[in-house]
Amino acid sequence: MRVFCASVGFEANTFSPLRTDFTDFEQSFYAPPGTHPETPTLCSAVFPALRRRARAGEIELIEGTATWAEPGGLCNAATWVRLRDEILGQLRAALPVEAVVLGLHGAMIAEGTVDCEGELISAVRALVGPAVKIGVSFDPHSHLSAARTDNADVVIAFKEFPHTDFVETGEAVAALTLRAARGEIAPVVSVFDVRMMDVLPTSIQPMRGFVDDMIALEGSGSILAVSAIHGFMAGDSPDLGAKIVVVTDAARAAGDALAESLGRRLFAMRGSTRPEFLPLAAGIARARASAAEPRKGPVVVADIWDNPGGGTSGDSTLVLRGFLEAGVGNVAFGTIWDPMAVRLCHAAGEGAVLELRFGGKTSATAGAPIDATVEVLHVQRDAVQSFGASVVPLGDVAVIRTGGIEIVLNTNRAQAFSPDLFSNAGIDPMSKDILVVKSTNHFHGAFAPIASEVIYVAVDGPYPNDPATNRYTRLTRPLWPRVDDPFADASATTVL
């Protein structure tokens, strides 16, 4: 059996001041055919899953390009056309094939193309014809369109947020697609539009129980896979919002009914799924008080809305300035994206003391730059952090200290995933009273086990965090919280 695989991962924050081009993909991860590492990336776990089957003699694998860029602003048209045509050209050269497996993110928007993944999957279907089986993995923070579900035979999204199950998802997509190609199953995709946009972390209740129930349903009777698309609130897409996806073995009616039942259950949870988000002053006070108590580990504070994983710049100074002005010491802060400041620190060298301006360079709403006398504690080329089995590049980094706070400056934008963000840069995270990280929830899987407490701090500015008031231009469906009851008559009055 001949199988083709490829992967493109990018999440577009269409409200971000950033712009994304091919350089961003090269800087983050770009692997032409045959060069994908043995370790998976977030969206390319299908590669090692299929390679194992190829080594076992089960399939003949033809690899296409695998690439991803750190979430950012709108992708330029030329970059999308290049990546799309590169993969389609590779597939065309590989024909005939019996299966195509794609590892995609699902929230890529480019200039002139609102639904990049839908366009790619539709083009793949046109190339291979109706008989070839197509399997696709998605990040749940994506925009699920009909172009995707009408043209793919298997659709599965990560269940966990943080996405600790991306390897398992790659395995599941590969397995079901190959079973379909062998004629063992006849997958049918059912979708229910939940008509809401909310933050749905699965590390806490009630989403924890919801995900556990989805997992328990899989393998029962005709149910092959169950996924929840959360949606991505910073993407101006007509398909914005949560959806339930059920893949059954030739059981359309049962799949439709289950998708609706789960979707209405998820809708009933609206507004109750987020952890407690504190204002900055309250978050600092709570962190300081918690750090003063006997404890087993550092207090972890998340700067949730300046999250590079949501396409922001990651250079907001609002939370950092709050800690500096409050005089809180023995803190490690990661990260501030500032390639210029990193370059100056590398030039000055470890041990240097200098006047440095850093942060606050890309957005008028993310705080002013900080001017301070700093000591350069550490400089490093090509630093990395881990995210499960994946390695995330940070680029060149510098660690500076000012006002009792050690700050990691980086050149590759990246949210905080793991404590080795600090330890790889020479900071012992367990020696700190407080760790401040830029991430909405992906940090939780690796940081929570070492934390005495996790505190979420919400500071308006860098990220469009309110779906009720975000200035969407493509959304035409009624969606909570923009309307109170989006399942009511279409004449429902919006909140705006």
Beta-sheet pairing, 133-138 with 434-437: unpaired
Question: Is 79 within 8 Å of 22 (Cβ atoms)?
Answer: yes
Buried b (16+ CB within 10 A) or exposed e, 196-225: bbbbbbbbeeebeebbeebeeebeeebbbb
Question: Is 234 within 8 Å of 13 (Cβ atoms)?
Answer: yes
Q: Given CA atoms 368, 369, 374, 375 in this order, what sign does their dihedral have?
A: positive
pTM of the shown model: 0.94
Q: Which residues contact 323 (CB under 8 A, 6 or more apart)?
A: 284, 331, 333, 405, 434, 436
Query: How many other C-beta atoms can be found within 10 angstroms of the C-beta atom of residue 52?
Result: 14
Question: Is 7 within 8 Å of 61 (Cβ atoms)?
Answer: no
Quote the CA–CA distance of 59 and 101 in Å, as a whole number. Answer: 13
Say if residue 494's pLDDT is above 80: no
pLDDT digits (tens, 9 = 90+) for 101-112: 999 999 999 999
Say if residue 70's pLDDT is above 90: yes
pLDDT-derived band of residue 295, with 50, 70 and 90 as boundaries?
confident
Say if residue 381's pLDDT is above 60: yes
Chain centroid, CA 225 distance in Å: 21
Say if residue 489's pLDDT is above 70: no
Q: Which residues contact 184 (CB under 8 A, 6 or more apart)?
A: none
- Helix, strand, coil % (nearest 5) of the chain? 30, 25, 45
pLDDT at 491: 45
Quote the CA–CA distance of 83 and 383 in Å, as a whole number. Answer: 27
Q: Which residues contact 103 (CB under 8 A, 6 or more apart)?
A: 5, 6, 7, 9, 43, 44, 45, 46, 47, 66, 136, 137, 170, 173
Q: Which residues contact 112 (CB under 8 A, 6 or more apart)?
A: 77
CA distances from 249 to 97, 178, 274 (A): 22, 14, 34
Tokens of 460: 């308006």
pLDDT, mean of residues 159-174? 97
pLDDT digits (tens, 9 = 90+) for 441-475: 999 999 999 999 999 999 998 899 999 999 999 99
Query: Domains of the chain: which residue ranges?
Result: 2-268, 277-457
Three-state SS for 68? strand
Say if residue 192's pLDDT is above 60: yes
Enumerate the β-bridge partners of residue 329. Answer: none
Say if residue 183's pLDDT is above 50: yes
Question: Is 387 within 8 Å of 417 (Cβ atoms)?
Answer: yes
Question: Is 446 within 8 Å of 419 (Cβ atoms)?
Answer: yes
